[in-house]
Structure formats: structure tokens, C-alpha cells
Chains A and B, each alone.
Chain A
Amino acid sequence: EAQVTQNPRYLITVTGKKLTVTCSQNMNHEYMSWYRQDPGLGLRQIYYSMNVEVTDKGDVPEGYKVSRKEKRNFPLILESPSPNQTSLYFCASSFPGTGEQFFGPGTRLTVL
């Protein structure tokens, strides 16, 4: 089944404790992206990647890191999480040019 998977689905952590949210897709998509969803703000892009070893900042990259060492994986790293990073996070992937992105199920992160 074609899908985007994210782990964990739920995470409660404390300020400053490094964490990684994994994202994996099995559709051989070149393009991958991370978004955060906050009430009243919709989805805002954090980082995106056009292909392996090619990443770039989105609209709200501060406090986040990403890597793209393999085509299928695009982990999101919070090196020192803060409470304002409490949010719902989505990973998405697509072929370049089509624009139709496939979304993962989401990761609900709470930073205390």
C-alpha cells in the first residue's frame, strides 16, 4: 500500500530534550516536506527536500533540522524543543511537478 508513515504518532517531552520524528514514504517520491498545523494558522511549511542531500527552509524553520540521506526517509529533528513547538506535525511527499502531495497521519507533539 502506498503510504507515508510517521513515528511516533504522539509524543510528550520536556523543554530541551532532543527528539526526532521519523517520516518514510514507499512511493519513490523525490519531494518531501514537513508542516506544522496550529489552530487558526493552517499548515505552515517547516522544511522541504527536492531529493537526496537537497534540503531547504520553508516558512517556519527556526528550531528545526532535517536530513535526507535516503530517498524514502526525511526525519525532523528538534535539538532543543521549546513549548512553542507544541503542535501537530505532518510529513508529505510527492513527485516534483504534480503538486499532489501525500500526507502522513501526523505526530502530535507536546513540549512541557
Chain B
Amino acid sequence: AQSVAQPEDQVNVAEGNPLTVKCTYSVSGNPYLFWYVQYPNRGLQFLLKYITGDNLVKGSYGFEAEFNKSQTSFHLKKPSALVSDSALYFCAVRETGANNLFFGTGTRLTVIP
């Protein structure tokens, strides 16, 4: 069975500092991995995905994520945080050949001015 863990409910970071939001997963076969962001009173917006290829994936708004197969992780990163990055972030996984996404419980990122 597939599962996603986001070990931190809340991450606080100072504006201008690098940020990391952690995600680990468990899935049969090769995973398809995703990050979504949810701003207040909005739906989820796609940030980036890993399907295959380069382990470092670049996405929207300057975010990137690193796929680490041995650690079964897909951490979201950004070199310099902005106050406007404050939001709820979800990691999701999909098994090869499936269409359904399985989401983590979310991490609330707060960037402090």
C-alpha cells in the first residue's frame, strides 16, 4: 500500500533563509511524486513533479525538490524564502500505472519577515 509522511506539521523560516519541507513515501514500484501548495481559501496548485530522470526537479515560484530513492524521500526546497511562500504544502505519490494520488497530511510553512 502506498503512503506519504510529512513529519512536520509546521515549519517556520525567516525571510531570505533557505527552506526545506520534508516528505517521505512508500510505494510499490517506481513512484511518481508531486508537491502541491494551498493558499488560504484556495484550491491546491501544482508546484512540481518527479516522474523519472534527474533527481533534482525544478518547479514553479523558485521551488525545487530532490528525489532520493535510497531514503525514499522527496523534500521540497527553496534557496531564499519569501513571506508570500507562507501556505500549506502537500506531498503526494502515485504508483506506476495508477491514476489516483495519495496525499500526505500537509505542512504549514510560515515565513517570518
Beta-carbon contact of A102 and B46 below 8 Å: yes
Q: Which of B41, B99, B100, B102 has the most CB of A within 10 A?
A: B99
Beta-carbon contact of A100 and B105 below 8 Å: no
B71-89, CB < 8 A from A: none
- The smallest beta-carbon distance between B24 and chain A, in angstroms, is 14
Q: Which of A13-21, A43-51, A62-70 contacts B (4 or more CB under 8 A)?
A: A43-51
Which chain A residues lie closer than 8 Å to B46 at the CB level? Answer: 100-102
Beta-carbon contact of A58 and B100 below 8 Å: yes
Which chain A residues lie closer than 8 Å to B106 at the CB level? Answer: 42
Known interface pairs A33-B100, A48-B100; A99-B105 also in contact (CB < 8 Å): no
Interface size class of B (residues with CB under 8 A): 20 to 34
Interface residue from B6, B43, B90 paired with A106 (Cβ < 8 Å): B43
Beta-carbon contact of B99 and A100 below 8 Å: no
Distance, CA A74 to CA B46, complexed state (A): 21
Beta-carbon contact of A100 and B49 below 8 Å: yes
Determine whether B101 belongs to the interface, using a CB cutoff of 8 Å to chain A: yes
Which chain A residues lie closer than 8 Å to B99 at the CB level? Answer: 31, 48, 50, 94, 96-97, 99
By beta carbon, the residue of chain B nearest A35 is B103
Residues of A within 8 A of B (CB-CB), count: 26
Which chain A residues lie closer than 8 Å to B51 at the CB level? Answer: 99
Beta-carbon contact of A43 and B90 below 8 Å: yes
Beta-carbon contact of B100 and A103 below 8 Å: no
Interface residue from B36, B42, B90, B105 paired with A105 (Cβ < 8 Å): B42
Distance, CA A97 to CA B100, complexed state (A): 10
By beta carbon, the residue of chain A nearest B97 is A97
- The smallest beta-carbon distance between B9 and chain A, in angstroms, is 8
Distance, CA A31 to CA B6, complexed state (A): 26
Which chain B residues lie closer than 8 Å to A33 at the CB level? Answer: 100-101
Give 13 A-B contacts (CB < 8 Å), ordered by A residue: A31-B99, A33-B100, A40-B105, A42-B106, A43-B44, A43-B90, A97-B99, A99-B49, A99-B94, A101-B46, A102-B46, A104-B43, A105-B42
